Chain A
Amino acid sequence: MDLGELAACMGSLPCVITQVSAGLTIGLLLFLVASGLTLIFGVLGLVNFAHGTLYMLGAYFALSAYELTESFLVATLAGTLGVAVFGLLMERTLFRRIYGADVLMQLLVCYAVILIMDDVVKIVWGGDFLKMDMPETFRRPPLLIGGGIVPLFYLVLFGITLAVALLLALGMSRTRFGRTVRAAAVNPAMVASLGVNTSFVFAAVFAVGSGLAGLAGALSAPIRSVVPGAGVSILIESFIVTVIGGMGSIGGALAAALLIGLTRSFGSIGFPLFTEGLMFLMMAAILLVKPSGLAGKHLA
């Protein structure tokens, strides 16, 4: 524990800017994965334990697209849309059969998907870790903002993820489709009786959730190792975010992801040996005070 160091950092604008920008970047990337997870749970009632696999596939799709085109934009789109299409296919062929099923059945099916896709990835891309090149545009010295250090690439990540978060929030609250999705989440039978094709709505939600995970994988490919099984660690953190935020709440997921990001960022200064523990401690504290999570509905 180094509280003196933490206090010194909190009293220094450059340090606060560096740590806040890093925390927000970590948090927003996490939000992309967790928002898909919570969206799918909120609307479809499916605890998608295979969601990390979609993140991993996004990174691999982006890597291959970047190797072919050397375009970061194409790589990001390939990761997002490729995984959205993959998610759609999985939903149509597999996951729609387990909506409303026992959580153990859902766990079993998802675990099978994780194992199969990890092996498919090994066959297609090999078992070794791979690395996507950092695009030349972003290979430049970090920016100094108010004395704080902010890498250009992180600013781009920040911009993209923030834009996606806003689009998602607006899409869910202001569009007809968003309202239909929210209605279908509460009472799918009633929505279907009004002539809405709920099966289509569910498939679209699954594709959007998958695409968000794919986008997170694609955006993180230039700075993280691309490796089979990469989805597992991100899945654990995403579940923490989902639980803290409240299962099914996108706003809650955003708040929780940013909280986790900032906790990690400042925790690494004040509690360098306990950063991981801080995350779980925070989860325990929030659940003690509000068992349904920050924005979750009250449990019966």
Chain B
Amino acid sequence: MSKTDPGGASRRGLLAASAGMGAAAITGFPMVARSQGRRPIRIGMPTILSGRVAQLGISSRDAVLMEVEKFNAEGGLDGRPIEVIVRDSRGVPAEAARLAREMISDGVDILFDGEPSSGGFAVHEVVRETGTLTLHINTETSAMSADPKQRFWNAFRIARQGIHDSIAGGVYAAEIVKAKNLRRWMTVSPDYAYGRDTTAEFIEYLKYFTPDVQVVGETWPKLFQPDYTENVTRLAQGRPQAVYSCLWAGDLVAFVEQAALYGLFSQSQYFAVNMADYTTLKQIKQLPRGVHSGNRYLSSYPAQPTNAAFGRDYQRRYNNYPTNWAWQAATAVHLTTAALKKVGSTDPRQLASALRGLTIDSPFGADGKVTMRAEDQTLVGYAIGWGTTIPAEPYVEGIKTADWNQITQLEQEWKKGKGWA
């Protein structure tokens, strides 16, 4: 046994330990996890935790943590728990890509990309190079999985997809067009990949089912634009019978408030695909009645006990409502843990192989199940429905469920048209 100077050694030791703990606290480096015999499965997650859409990012993180906790409580993967490392990208694509690189170099096993399309494509390019198993949980732009050039073995989309919503929306809107003779349309959508693509796809399917519809004007506010007056007056001048919008979250709330001042909701029928999400529904103080919306997340739809239970558990735990990003994040955990159990390890190639074609029971499935479609590594089978808003719970009524057979068939034709199938 060696002898040491007790006074000096303890002071130095104390300083060293303090410095180490301080560094750990500052960097968030999971020292404790590393020291355990069974190394945790580490999932890195860049998402938006501050700014106009923070509520969505926060709900995405919270849903992941809630579902991971259940998995860990059941013993994890043969005793290995999942550890989630979440960082705030502030909605800046370059920052999301930087965080993804940082997490990968820190040795995460799996990446949950919690960015919308604006940042999702930036992260996509990072993991194309690194080969990290990545689940895009909030990117809805169809091209990410539909375009073969964007597809590679380690990237999966576990989110709703623009083309699916557009086909479902087109079918629903066509019925209303026929019933109410709505021929003059205008659009107001955010000016970036998701807004442009999704709007074009919706109009394509609206015209597919009702060819005599005319788009008489369009206006494209920037993502996170503070003021929508010019867009609102443009709509007011166009005097459309119907308006389509895929604005979302805080942008949609600000737009609705400003459009209400101009009385637009009494002039035209509104089809706002992203309205029926609690993040929006709860923030708009006087929700207009009768706005047509697709379901983003509603605990009442799909009307399954497991979905209602998910909504209840989430609300009890966080004193807030889940969002569209929450169900997608929860589904990412469900699919990942199912694949982990199937493979028994974190080998990315084996996990990717297990994920391809994987079908699981899901609270959010149209028929109680969702599938990670093998051919383009994207989620299918989730519940899609359109209905009209009402100012109180359950906020949307008369929801008509979309037919996945029709969606799949038209999606395939759409891909062929693009030269992607």
Contact = CB atoms under 8 A, between A and B. Distances in A.
A and B from one complex: yes
B233 A151 contact: no
B345 interface: no
B233 A224 contact: no
A184 interface: no
A149 B236 contact: yes
A129 interface: yes
Interface string A249-285: 0000000000000001101110011011000000000
Contacts, number: 120
A22 interface: yes
Interface stretch (B113-121, B206-214, B220-228): B220-228
B45 to A, nearest CB: 16
A18 B239 CA distance: 13
Interface in B204-252: 217-220, 222, 224-227, 229-234, 236-237, 249-251
A127 interface: yes
B418 to A, nearest CB: 22
B263 A127 contact: no
Most chain A CB inside 10 Å of its own CB: which residue of B218, B232, B237: B237
A222 interface: yes
Given A127-B58, A228-B50, A275 B286 contact: no
A105 interface: no
Contacts of A133: 285
Contact of B233 (A220, A265, A276): A265
Given A134-B285, A222-B257, A227-B51, A275 B230 contact: yes
A5 B51 CA distance: 36
Contacts of A230: 226
Interface of A: 2, 5, 9, 15, 18-19, 22-23, 25-26, 29, 118, 122, 126-129, 131, 133-134, 138-139, 141-142, 149, 151-154, 220, 222-225, 227-230, 233-234, 264-265, 267-269, 272-273, 275-276
The 9 closest A-B pairs by CB, nearest first: A127-B50, A151-B261, A129-B250, A268-B230, A225-B250, A127-B54, A268-B234, A22-B233, A128-B54
18 contacts: A9-B237, A22-B233, A25-B229, A126-B54, A128-B58, A129-B283, A131-B283, A149-B262, A149-B263, A154-B229, A223-B254, A224-B226, A225-B52, A229-B50, A233-B226, A264-B230, A267-B230, A268-B219
Interface of B: 49-55, 58, 88, 90, 217-220, 222, 224-227, 229-234, 236-237, 249-251, 253-254, 257-258, 261-263, 266, 283-286
